[in-house]
Every structure is written in structure tokens, then in C-alpha cells.
Amino acid sequence: MKRIIAVLLVAASIFLVSCGGIPSARGIVKKTVSGTTEISLYYGSANGNDMAGFNIRRIDGIASGAFAAPKINALPFIVYVFKLDGSVKVEEFKNTLRENCDLVWNICTSADTIICENEGDVVLFAMLDMDEMTGLPKGTDEKIINNFHSIFK
């Protein structure tokens, strides 16, 4: 009987730890942009190959990634979340993003704000334009950063 109880306790512990862990990259990006904009967004995966907003074709070090972008392509707003695979140091990865981003990745639009933050090996990268026309009032960048960091607390 004691063995059965011990096995059940171990199983319950494993279940609780796995369910209480960090969400997927897509879950993180959705929580990060939640309530920050009225823009209608779509979500996708980001694996380091041919990603919108970067002037290089491949970025290494990504275990998994996701993005949120407007359904209307002409708005300068994109948010990425990357879980790193350990092959690249976090600061090196962030520098690669900063050095290779293209603030004018959409024709006729340009972002004016870059966000590049991390919590451990999870990196948030965003490019956006703080402009009333895009629906992104001043302070949107702070909301995105705060939402991102709150996921890990």
C-alpha cells in the first residue's frame, strides 16, 4: 500500500511540475501581446529561417519560436518570442537580432521602437511604431515588456 501511495505522489508531483512550467513560445507571445493593442493579430511559428523583419536568411540558436503580427500587413508591428537551444549565448543571440533587424521590413512603413528582453533562455524581440494611426499609443512597449516578464513570476 505504501508503494502505491508513493507512486501516486510521484506521479502527481510530475504532473504538477510539468503543468506549471513555462508555456510554449506561442503561448508566451500570445500572453505578451494580450491587451496591448486593438490591431487584429495572427500568430505563427518562427524557426530562424526567413523571418519577417530581418535582413539575414537564418538566425541560429532557436529551439522554438513564435510571432504575432497584424493581419493588415502595412502596420509596423511584429513580436517574436524565442526559446533558445543552448548553442548560442543569450546576449550574443540578442545582439544578432538587434544588428540584423530591418525597421523598414514592410513597404511604406517603418518601426521606431525595438524591444529586446530575456528571461533566462527565452528572448522577446519586437519592432513597433508608436503612432496613433497604428493603434499603438505611447506605453505599448512598456505593456509588452511587463506582460513578458510577468509570465515568469
Cα 87 to Cα 5, 34, 81, 134, distances in angstroms: 41, 30, 17, 37
β-pairing, 41-45 with 122-128?
A: unpaired
What count of other Cβ atoms lies within 10 Å of the Cβ of residue 62? Answer: 22
pLDDT at 108: 76
Q: Which residues pair with 42 in a beta bridge?
A: 69
List, run by run, the mean pLDDT of 10-residue segments along the chain (153 residues): 37 36 84 86 92 93 94 85 96 97 85 94 92 70 90 86
**What is the rounded CA–CA span in Å between residue 49 and residue 35?**
29
**What is the rounded CA–CA span in Å between residue 22 and residue 121?**
11
Here the cell at position 112 is 521606431
pLDDT at 8: 31
pLDDT at 71: 86
Phi, psi (deg, nearest 5) at residue 29: -65, -40
**What is the rounded CA–CA span in Å between residue 126 and residue 65?**
13
Cα 57 to Cα 48, 83, 110, 122, distances in angstroms: 8, 19, 20, 21
pTM of the model: 0.82
pLDDT at 112: 87
pLDDT at 11: 37
pLDDT at 134: 60
